[in-house]
Amino acid sequence: LLRIEEELGPQASYAGEGFMRAGLNATPLSGNLEVTNVPTQPIEGQKPGTSGLRKKTKVFMEGNYLHNFVQSVFNALAAEKVPVEGGTLVVSGDGRFWNPEAIQIIIRIALANGVKRVWCG
């Protein structure tokens, strides 16, 4: 989220000091961020189970593995007519290896899909 705030500068704002003291923040996302289309292919074995994808971190780091999965979630939401555009995304992780990078990827894809606000914990 810090990288997003740096890019947006004064356009980024918080929900209030109470949120910051509690360790939570909300940043309305706006500005001119470029959206690009990246051609991709389905990835063998990439389907969630009852506990998520259950893959090693190294697998998520390869190619567009995480990107494909996250975009497929947004595609499924759109197919079900879930109002994503202008909405809010809550994203977090357990803080393990590659977590900050994965969250940045998820935030970028969310922005490209029209999400207006991200809560990052």
pLDDT of residue 38: 81
pLDDT of residue 25: 52
pLDDT of residue 48: 65
| Mean pLDDT, 10 residues at a time, the chain of 121 residues | 48 44 50 76 72 72 86 91 90 84 91 89 77
Sign of the CA dihedral running 68, 72, 34, 97? negative
pLDDT of residue 74: 93
Check if the beta carbon of residue 65 is closer than 8 Å to that of residue 43: yes
pLDDT of residue 37: 82
**Which conformational region is residue 23 in: left (phi greater than 0), alpha (psi within -120 to 50 degrees), or beta?**
left
pLDDT of residue 26: 52
- CA–CA gap between residue 30 and residue 18 (Å, rounded): 22
Nearest by Cα to 107 from 14, 22, 33, 56: 33
Long-range contacts of residues 37-46, Cβ cutoff 8 Å, at least 24 apart: 38/64, 38/67, 40/64, 40/67, 40/68, 42/68, 43/68
Task: Give residues with Cβ within 8 angstroms of 24, minimum separation 6.
Answer: 15, 119, 121
- CA–CA gap between residue 16 and residue 93 (Å, rounded): 23
